[in-house]
Amino acid sequence: MSTRIDARFAELKKQGRSAFITFLMAGDPDPATSLEIVKALPKAGADIIEIGMPFTDPMADGPAIQAAGLRALKAGMTLRKTLAMVREFRKGDNATPLVLMGYYNPIYIYGVDKFLVDAKSAGVDGLIIVDLPPEEDVELCLPAMQAGLNFIRLATPTTDDKRLPAVLANTSGFVYYVSITGITGSASANTAVVGEAVARIKRHTQLPVCVGFGIRTPEAARGIAENADGAVVGTALVEALAASLDAQGHATAKTVTAVADLVAALAQGVRGAKQAAE
């Protein structure tokens, strides 16, 4: 099975560069603006797009992403509408990989089998479900793989060599290395430490290793991209979006460009990275 994610990494490998992966919350600040932003991302330089599924109790998210989720929920965003947004995006873009990221609860309530059928037909390529450990693979990971979706796993600084094989066992698409311990948006990634961690994970897997958490500037993105197969930016984009809203938290004429412009600057950082020799 080859997915859009596999195809994109193969293509980037030929170009000799890392992936730039963006994260935004579905429905933030409202469903229509959110779709407009996501549509603008590939042109701005996003190679892969992660879309957050808003959830009422997001325990791994920092304040910025929690606030984004709350704005989305307040604007009436649901998992069904998130899938509709993917379907709408796919009408104009059949190449950019889309990954849904979030928690298991909304999927469980939606119904796992129904969700996988609907996600696949909408054009979703992969899932990152932060609260399902490898021990729970029968719940969603294995059915997702059977449905032709990549199940992308998180590895962290505390994932040691004993734990890694379990984490990597049913992972596909790429491995998402969380560069800092703690919640999103809380600290900055240390390039040297990240480089060592990526090398360690690569001893266990052939999959691309992408790094997220703590990347806010083009310089930081470039530093990470030199050591990893991809750099993931979320909090900085969500903050740029939030800063563009009016006093009531509604979208303004600046909202879409605020995000797209930052994506373009970060993408330049990633593209400026000299790929370390394989």
Confirm whether 85 is domain-assigned: yes
Kindly tell me if the per-residue pLDDT of 190 is higher than 80. no
Confirm whether 105 is domain-assigned: yes
CA 246 to centroid of chain Cα atoms: 26
Confirm whether 276 is domain-assigned: no
Q: Given the structure tokens 């590939």, which residue do they identify? A: 42
Confirm whether 87 is domain-assigned: yes
Confirm whether 278 is domain-assigned: no
Average pLDDT over residues 10-19: 96
Kindly tell me if the per-residue pLDDT of 253 is higher than 50. yes
Q: Given the structure tokens 């603006």, which residue do they identify? A: 33
Give the domain extent around 241.
4-271
Confirm whether 212 is domain-assigned: yes
Domains held by the chain: number:
1
CATH number assigned to the domain comprising residue 53: 3.20.20.70
Average pLDDT over residues 208-214: 94
Q: How confident is the model at residue 187 (pLDDT cuts 50, 70, 90)?
A: low
Q: How confident is the model at residue 62 (pLDDT cuts 50, 70, 90)?
A: confident
Selecting among 28, 30, 50, 226, the annotated active-site residue is 50
278 is catalytic: no
Q: Rounded to whole angstroms, how far apart are CA atoms 78 and 55?
A: 9
61 is catalytic: yes
Selecting among 30, 47, 61, 137, the annotated active-site residue is 61
Output the pLDDT for position 140.
97
Q: Within a 13 Å sphere around the CA of 112, how many CA atoms are in the beta-carbon half?
A: 17
Share of the chain above pLDDT 70, in %: 95
Q: Considering the entire predicted model, what is its pTM?
A: 0.95
Q: Rounded to whole angstroms, how far apart are CA atoms 77 and 54?
A: 7
Average pLDDT over residues 52-57: 94
pLDDT in tens, 129-139: 999 999 999 99
Confirm whether 204 is domain-assigned: yes
Confirm whether 277 is domain-assigned: no
